[in-house]
Amino acid sequence: SQKIEQNSEALNIQEGKTATLTCNYTNYSPAYLQWYRQDPGRGPVFLLLIRENEKEKRKERLKVTFDTTLKQSLFHITASQPADSATYLCALDPLPYGQNFVFGPGTRLSVLP
Amino acid sequence: EAGVTQFPSHSVIEKGQTVTLRCDPISGHDNLYWYRRVMGKEIKFLLHFVKESKQDESGMPNNRFLAERTGGTYSTLKVQPAELEDSGVYFCASSQGVGSYEQYFGPGTRLTVT
């Protein structure tokens, strides 16, 4: 069956360290994968999109990798700050190049001062 | 530029009643999406409009849900009659045009059916 898993429900790290979040998928062949941030009581906020032919994408302190062989994306936040504490969601297109998105369950990241 | 807005922010209704949720996308965005998150579950796609046309409604749970997008601007999602399992947070998102994958989400409407 088709499935998206994110490494853990919650992740605690110390301020200044690098947070690494994992998104694994099964029985999908996405053309692209997205990462969103969601704060309590708010809608998801788009962070990064990476396409199947891209290995890595960066934006400021954020880095995303996409390995279509392993069917995995890694999301890194370097020099993490307490303000980075939020739930992070990965999403992919179940039909390649479609605009219908499937979301993972999310990982709740807490950056401790 | 105003973001995606949703109304109401919260709605509490009794089973069997009707509720209409409204979404105003970012001006000029052709694509409008509805999603739902029920308690403890992931966000699930409901449907996608391109302008006023339904592009994909494969995620609509059943015929108690009716979505419209008048004139390709705002959209409404009506639930009639509401059931207990319809409780959750309903998100609307919009994106610009063809091949535009970056979606801008609204704050959501929390629906509670008692």
pLDDT digits (tens, 9 = 90+) for B85-94: 999 999 999 9
Tell me, rounded to whole angstroms, the distance of Cα B84 from its chain centroid.
18
Q: Which of A9-13, A52-56, B109-113 has the highest mean pLDDT?
A: B109-113
Q: Which CATH class is domain A3-112?
A: mainly beta
Probe site for chain B from A101, A107, A108 (most B CB atoms < 10 A): A101
Q: Identify all chain B residues contacting A46, using CB atoms and an 8 Å cutoff.
A: 102-104
Contact A43 B56 (CB under 8 A): no
- Find out whether A113 and A55 touch, Cβ atoms under 8 Å: no
Q: Among residues of chain B, what percentage have pLDDT more than 70?
A: 99
**Sequence ranges of the domains in chain A:** 3-112
Give the model's pLDDT for residue A37. 98
Those of residues 3-62 in A touching chain B at CB distance below 8 A are 4, 32, 34, 36, 41-46, 49
Check residue B51 and report its DSSP letter: T
Query: Quick check: B65 pLDDT over 90?
Result: yes
Give the pLDDT mean for B39-54. Answer: 92
What lies within 8 Å, CB to CB, of B61 at 6+ separation is: B46
- What is the spatial distance between Cα B45 and Cα B60, in angstroms, rounded to a whole number? 8
CA-CA-CA-CA dihedral for B42, A106, B113, B71, to nearest 10: -70
Give the model's pLDDT for residue A107. 95
Question: In CATH, what number is assigned to the domain containing residue B12?
Answer: 2.60.40.10
Query: Quick check: A59 pLDDT over 90?
Result: yes
User: How many domains does the structure of chain B reveal?
Assistant: 1
Domain that holds residue B87: 5-97+104-113
- What is the spatial distance between Cα B7 and Cα B19, in angstroms, rounded to a whole number? 11
Query: Quick check: A98 pLDDT over 90?
Result: no
